[in-house]
Amino acid sequence: MRALAALALCACAAAAAAPPRPEPPLPGTHFLGSDLKALQADDFANPGLLWVARGEALWSEGAKPCAACHGEAARSMRGAAARYPRFDAGLGRVVNLEGRIDACRTGRQGLPAFAPESPERLALAAFVARQSRGMPLAVSVDGPARPVFERGRDLYRTRIGQLNLACTHCHDERWGKTLLAEPISQGHPTAWPAYRVEWQTLGSLQRRLRACFFGVRAAMPDYGDGDLLALELYLAWRGEGLALESPGVRR
Ligand code: HEC
Ligand code: HEC
């Protein structure tokens, strides 16, 4: 209870100039049709599990594998994904989960970085995220992460594109309604990386966010762009307490 009260306090402070969080908070899965809901819940049918299995293999591959330093992922990576994006003191910047994996690949393994949305990068991210399935999102937006959080919070309310809409107009003001026959969710990040039927493949949260930029006819930020990272941190704060469900299944 004490911990809960403390969380509520820091949430209030952070909320100072942010739109109120949707009440009650509902994961994107809530807004899926029963077919996709069932697909996500079934470990034998959820296509995202193929990437998780590939990530598990990659974990132990190579001359200096992830496992050499991190051991069994079920133990060492449990809860890690729920804390990202976060300020990484060693790197001196805020990184998302994929960025942290990239840093280990280049800095610790001495290997070339994976391309954004490459199958290997998605597989490792899905495998690591899977170790936190069911755990509540709990990021820190204080200290050195603060400016990134504030940037994300402000972007979230900035109108963009030819449709001149901000994230908040759809995901705070219109959730539960439909847009071109697609139900609009509250826009939480808990399912990602997720398998999207429209893509016929797994994709990162940044790819999903780029699709929202595209949807309002705005220029899409590049992968790794600071705006996308800031939005990711804001979304993680906004979804605090919701359970991680990667690999999710989405339309
Ligand atoms: C015109 C309405 C609209 C705007 C504006 C919009 N989105 Fe979306 N967004 C959607 C729709 C539709 C989907 C797919 C259905 C769903 O999950 O809501 C979606 C999906 C998402 C998801 C995935 C949710 C899930 O559970 O998989 C996230 C996260 C998200 N949007 C964040 C954002 C952010 C951040 C912005 C601002 C940069 C934004 N959206 C702007 C309509 C919009
Ligand atoms: C040579 C040792 C080494 C290897 C190999 C390595 N890492 Fe790391 N990793 C670390 C250390 C040390 C940290 C702690 C952060 C730091 O100081 O860089 C870390 C941190 C992480 C974190 C953040 C964990 C958290 O709780 O915040 C993730 C995720 C991660 N590594 C994933 C991977 C993956 C995936 C691979 C393989 C592609 C890998 N690492 C390979 C040493 C390694």
Q: From first to last of its 251 residues, what are the pLDDT tens digits of the chain?
A: 344 444 444 554 555 578 899 999 999 999 999 999 999 999 999 999 999 999 999 999 999 999 999 999 999 999 999 999 999 999 999 999 999 999 999 999 999 999 999 999 999 999 999 999 999 999 999 999 999 999 999 999 999 999 999 999 999 999 999 998 899 999 999 999 999 999 999 999 999 999 999 999 999 999 999 999 999 999 999 999 999 999 999 99
Give the pLDDT score at 5.
Answer: 44
Encoded amino acid at 123, one letter: A
Q: DSSP assignment, residue 86?
A: E
Asked, for residue 2, whether it belongs to a domain, the answer is: no
Asked, for residue 81, whether it belongs to a domain, the answer is: yes
Least Cα distance to 165 among 226, 228, 212, 220 occurs for 212
Asked, for residue 19, whether it belongs to a domain, the answer is: no
Asked, for residue 5, whether it belongs to a domain, the answer is: no
Q: DSSP assignment, residue 26?
A: -
Active site residue 212: yes
DSSP for 198-226? TTTEEE-HHHHHHHHHHHTT-PPPPTT-H
Structure tokens at 80: 């890690």
Distance of CA 240 to the CA centre of its chain: 12
Closest ligand, as measured to the CA of 109: 2
Q: Tell me which residue has its CA closest to atom 29 in ligand 1.
A: 187
- Residue 42 near ligand 1, beta carbon < 6 Å: no
Give the pLDDT score at 52.
Answer: 98
Asked, for residue 71, whether it belongs to a domain, the answer is: yes
The count of domains in the chain is 1
Report the alpha-carbon distance of residue 9 to residue 3 in Å, rounded.
10
Give the pLDDT score at 35.
Answer: 97
**Cα-to-centroid distance, 77 and ligand 2 (Å):** 9
The enclosing domain of 105 has a CATH number of 1.10.760.10
Q: Tell me which residue has its CA closest to atom 27 in ligand 1.
A: 28
Closest ligand, as measured to the CA of 131: 2
> Which residues constitute the domain of residue 174?
24-250
